[in-house]
């Protein structure tokens, strides 16, 4: 099975943020040691589940949850398990998501020594009232300190998350957060607009209708302000929600957007291998931890006991998915890559859709293919709808 990336899910958080519906559990942090052991067992079984792997991993991504709740030794143990099964390329990008409320310079130094070379900091905002609205565990001073500490620990490849469209968030708060990132030389920023997810405290607080509090226009104005300011400062808008200085694009996410294969380990992690997308059957941390035992006989665990294939993608599905993911990126859909992968031209597969999107000003032709226009980036869901 050819895959060059591995995603590791760490489903623990100190406390649930008010907007979050990610798979993370706030009350079972004491289960981390057992979880790490189970993760290593799952990684060790990959050859049995997915066949012998000859390809090198060029990206490992610790996402969550809050991976920075792990100790540096636990991160190293997981990376060592990966190295026993796969080879990691010399320049393998190893990213760890970190919450500012869980790190200090010493811990970050430990992560670097363990092999982590890219840090994704969940800053969201440097305004205390915005952070309180979001229910983050850290305030603005802790978030600034996290950036100072990351730099002191020697990290150069740092990404900061920034959230927009939050009730009570002013344009000034957005501007001063961005100014700080630029002053500190942060080379990569991920931008997200707040989405009210059903079942979250924020959904209840705002009656499920964010537009009553932040209009689409306000949200788009913040987004355009950030995108334009970053462009003026040498960042490329290389994906709808991501901007980076040249050389600092997220390698891991680029593999997702190129619809490439990836392994996934841990509770709730989703893999894409061959034409199959799937996830772990376990629903809780406890179930995950015990799922490799097979009644005390780990050697007898089989793939179907552990994973659930969610969908098998037909070639047509794969072509549509390729377009949808490629249109998220600044480069767009590259005709040569499409032809090489599917043995037919992109025009023969989607000529009508492309024509319509070009007429509507959502897509433009480039030298190498097709990409979203600025208007298309704002109305991306309309374009994606053509490939569902």
Q: Give the binding site for ligand SF4 (CB under 6 A).
A: 13, 16-17, 20, 22, 24, 64-66, 99, 122
Phi-psi label, residue 274: left if phi above 0, alpha if psi -120 to 50, beta otherwise: left
Q: Which of 196, 184, 55 is nearest to 119 (CA)?
A: 184
Q: Shortest approach of ligand SF4 to residue 224 CB, angstroms?
A: 25
Nearer to ligand SF4, 64 or 266 (CB): 64
Nearer to ligand SF4, 17 or 230 (CB): 17
Nearer to ligand SF4, 22 or 342 (CB): 22
What is Dmax (Cα atoms) for the chain?
62
Nearer to ligand SF4, 252 or 319 (CB): 252
Nearer to ligand SF4, 19 or 377 (CB): 19
> Is the distance from CB of 369 to CB of 376 less than 8 angstroms?
no
Q: Shortest approach of ligand SF4 to residue 301 CB, angstroms?
A: 28
Residue 273's SS3 state is strand
Nearer to ligand SF4, 10 or 38 (CB): 10
> Is the distance from CB of 307 to CB of 49 less than 8 angstroms?
yes
Q: Shortest approach of ligand SF4 to residue 68 CB, angstroms?
A: 9
Q: Shortest approach of ligand SF4 to residue 135 CB, angstroms?
A: 8
Q: Shortest approach of ligand SF4 to residue 171 CB, angstroms?
A: 24
Quickly tell me which residue has 């050389």 as its tokens.
247
Q: Shortest approach of ligand SF4 to residue 134 CB, angstroms?
A: 8
Complete DSSP assignment for 281-325: S--SHHHHHHTT-TTT-GGG--HHHHEEEEEE--HHHHHHHHHHH
φ, ψ dihedrals at 110, nearest 5°: -60, -40
Is the Cα torsion angle 163, 99, 56, 3 positive or negative in sign? negative
Question: What is the C-alpha radius of gyration for the chain, rounded to an integer number of angstroms?
Answer: 21
Distance CA 92, CA 17 (A): 31
Nearer to ligand SF4, 141 or 315 (CB): 141
Q: Shortest approach of ligand SF4 to residue 382 CB, angstroms?
A: 28
Quickly tell me which residue has 């869980």 as its tokens.
102
Residue 87's SS3 state is strand
Nearer to ligand SF4, 279 or 329 (CB): 279
DSSP strand E in the chain: where? 5-10, 56-64, 87-98, 118-124, 158-164, 188-193, 236-239, 242-244, 263-265, 270-273, 276-280, 307-312, 333-334, 363-365, 369-372
Q: Shortest approach of ligand SF4 to residue 105 CB, angstroms?
A: 20
């Amino acid at each position: 099975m050819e895959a060059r990336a591995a995603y590791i899910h760490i489903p623990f958080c100190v406390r649930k943020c008010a907007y979050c519906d990610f798979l993370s559990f706030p009350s079972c942090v004491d289960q981390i040691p057992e979880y790490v052991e189970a993760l290593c067992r799952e990684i060790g079984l990959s050859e049995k589940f997915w066949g012998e792997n000859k390809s090198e991993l060029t990206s490992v991504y610790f996402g969550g949850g809050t991976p920075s709740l792990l100790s540096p030794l636990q991160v190293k143990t997981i990376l060592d398990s990966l190295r026993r099964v796969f080879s990691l390329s010399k320049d393998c990008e190893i990213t760890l998501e970190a919450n500012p409320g869980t790190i200090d310079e010493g811990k970050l130094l430990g992560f670097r020594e363990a092999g982590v070379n890219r840090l994704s900091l969940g800053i969201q905002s440097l305004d205390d009232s915005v952070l309180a609205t979001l229910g983050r565990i850290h305030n603005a001073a802790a978030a600034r300190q996290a950036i100072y500490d990351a730099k002191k620990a020697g990290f150069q490849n740092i990404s900061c998350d920034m959230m927009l469209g939050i009730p009570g968030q002013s344009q000034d708060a957005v501007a001063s957060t961005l100014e700080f990132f630029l002053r500190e030389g942060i080379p990569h920023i991920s931008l997200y607009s707040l989405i009210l997810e059903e079942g979250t405290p924020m959904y209840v607080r705002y009656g499920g209708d964010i537009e009553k509090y932040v209009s689409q226009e306000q949200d788009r104005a913040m987004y355009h302000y950030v995108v334009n300011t970053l462009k003026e400062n040498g960042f490329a808008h290389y994906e709808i929600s991501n901007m980076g200085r040249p050389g600092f694009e997220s390698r891991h996410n680029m593999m997702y957007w190129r619809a490439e294969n990836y392994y996934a380990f841990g509770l709730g992690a989703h893999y894409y291998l061959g034409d199959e997308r799937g996830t772990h059957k376990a629903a809780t941390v406890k179930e995950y931890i015990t799922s490799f035992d097979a009644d005390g006989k780990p050697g007898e665990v089989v793939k179907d006991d552990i994973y659930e294939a969610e969908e098998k993608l037909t070639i047509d599905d794969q072509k549509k998915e390729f377009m949808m993911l490629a249109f998220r990126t600044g480069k767009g859909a590259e005709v040569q890559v499409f032809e090489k992968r599917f043995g037919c031209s992109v025009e023969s597969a989607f000529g009508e859709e492309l024509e319509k999107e070009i007429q509507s000003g959502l897509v433009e032709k480039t030298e190498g293919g097709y990409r979203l226009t600025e208007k298309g980036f704002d109305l991306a869901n309309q374009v994606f709808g053509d490939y569902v």
